[in-house]
Structure 1
C-alpha cells in the first residue's frame, strides 16, 4: 500500500476508530513496520491517537509497539504472497551474503521463505553442486538457473509453497548436507528460534541435524520476538546472517554458543 506522509488525508480523517485500526493493520501487514509520525501525517491525527490505536492492536496480539513505531507480530502466519514485499532490500543483502558462502561441489539445503529465495537469486551454477529444498518456488527458480535440484516430496502447504509432513521428513532424513540455510520467524533469548508455521518445524529440525554447517537467515525485525513454535536453540547453529546486530542480550547468547553473526 502506498500512502502520502506529506499532509493530512481528508478521507482518512473521517474514519471511525475501528476503521482506522483496520487500515493501520492493513498497512503494517504489507510493510512489516510503521512509524508513529508517518501514520499521524497519513491519517491527519495526533501521534497520541495513533499510539492508542496501536496499543489496542497490540492488546489483540496483532502488532508490537517499538521505539517510534510498531512492527507486525511474527506469530501471525502470513502467506508467501503477503510476505514477499516486506523488507525486500534487507532480504536481498542477506541472500547475497549467504550465497557467497557456498563452495563448488557442495550439497546444500535451502529452506522455504522469502529470505531464502534471495539466496537462490544470487547463486551461480558453478558455485554449487546440488540444492535440496522443500519449497516449490525455490525449485522453480533453481530450474531457471540450471542448477541441479532435488525437490523433496510431501504434503503441499499452500501458504508457503512448501512440502511438509512424514514423506518430506523421511526424504530429508536420508540426505546429508554441507550447509543448510534455514529461515526463522523469530529469535529471542527466552525461546530461541521459532516459526509461525508448525508444520515446517520438523523439516527445519531435520535439515539442521543432517547438515555439517547450519546458517540461519533472518532480518533484524524478528530479533527479540517469539512465534508459534520453537524449533531450535542457538547451540545447533553455526552462523546467523542478518542485516543489523541484535540487542546486547542476543549478541551475548550468540557469543556463548559460538555463533557467528554475519552482517550484510
Structure 2
C-alpha cells in the first residue's frame, strides 16, 4: 500500500513539475508523456485541483500560483500554497459572521465552506451537511451537526445519492453556503463530481434565504464538467479581491451581490 502511495505521489510531482514549466498543457499529450491513461491523469489533476495546487480548465491545467521548484521537491506529501489557504480562511470567516443564532444552514462538500465551522464560536445553530470531513472539524459547543447520510464518495468523503437528497428534501435552511469548482455569470456554478450536482441543487432549492457561493478568484470565470445551479439561483458570491472588476459588473448585472475580500 505504501509503495502504491509513493508511486502516485511521485507521478503527481512529475505532473506539477511539467505544469510549472509549461504555460499550458494538453492532457492527452501529457498522459502519453507520462505513459499513463488519460483517465488516470484526469484523476491526478482533479486531486491536485482539490488541494488547491492547480486550476483545471477544459482540456488542460495550470498552476494555481507560481510554486517554487525547490519548495515543490521538498513537499512530497501535501503541498498547499499559503496564499490560497489564507484566502480560503478569509472567505470562511466572513461567511461565519453572516450566520446568526437560531439559523439552520446548509454546507456542501467544499473544503472552503467547511472551514466556516471553525469560526462559528458559541453560536447556537444547526449545520446540515453532506461533508463527511465535518466529523473531524472543531466545532463550537452549541452547534448541532446533522449529516445527510448516503453513499460515501471516497475521494472527497462526501455523502451522495438518493438517500442524501431525500434527507435534504425534508429540511428547510435559512442560509446556504456552497463551495464550487467554478462559477461564471452565464452558466452558473459547476462541479467536477457528477454525483454532487443533485446535492448542491437540492440545498439551493431547500434554502429559504440567501445562497452564498464561496469561491476564490481563480475559480471565477471557470466552468467545470457538471452544472449544479443557475446563476439566478445564487444571491451572493464571496471571493477575494483579485477578482476582475469586469466580472464583478457581470455578476451584479445578473443580480448576484459580489463581496471581494482583501487578503493582503
Length-normalised TM-score, structure 1: 0.70
Q: CA RMSD in A?
A: 2.9
Tell me the residue number matched to 1:157: 153
Q: Distance in 2 between matches of 1:244 and 1:185?
A: 18
Distance of aligned partners of 1:136 and 1:253 in 2 relative to their CA distance in 1, 3 Å threshold: same
What is the CA distance between 1:128 and its match in structure 2? 3.6
1:5-50 Cα shifts (integer Å, max 9, x gaps): xxxxxxxxxxxxxxxx97563258xxxxx8xxxx6xxxxxxxxxx4
| SS of equivalent residue, structure 2 residue 87 | helix
CA contact (8 A) 1:74 1:222 kept: no
Tell me the residue number matched to 1:10: none
Name which of 4, 16, 26 aligns with 1:26.
16
What is the CA distance between 1:191 and its match in structure 2? 2.6
Tell me the residue number matched to 2:55: 72
What is the CA distance between 1:234 and its match in structure 2? 1.5
Tell me the residue number matched to 1:42: none
Tell me the residue number matched to 2:198: 202
CA contact (8 A) 2:117 2:139 kept: no
Q: Distance in 2 between matches of 1:89 and 1:209?
A: 31
Residue pairs, 1:125-140, within 5 angstroms: 125=122, 127-140=123-136
Name which of 253, 257, 261 aligns with 2:254.
257
Tell me the residue number matched to 2:180: 184
Task: List, as ranges, runs of 4+ consecutive aligned residues in structure 1 with deviation greater than 6 Å.
Answer: none
Tell me the residue number matched to 2:120: 123
Structure 1 residue runs without a partner (length 5+) = 1-20, 29-33, 40-49, 64-69, 77-81
Tell me the residue number matched to 1:6: none
Q: Distance in 2 between matches of 1:193 and 1:118?
A: 20
Which of the two has higher C-alpha Rg?
1
| SS of equivalent residue, structure 2 residue 195 | helix
1:166-201 Cα shifts (integer Å, max 9, x gaps): 000000011000001011001124432110111111
- 1:230 paired with 2:231, answer no
Structure 2 residue runs without a partner (length 5+) = 1-10, 31-41, 46-52, 61-76
CA contact (8 A) 1:234 1:257 kept: yes
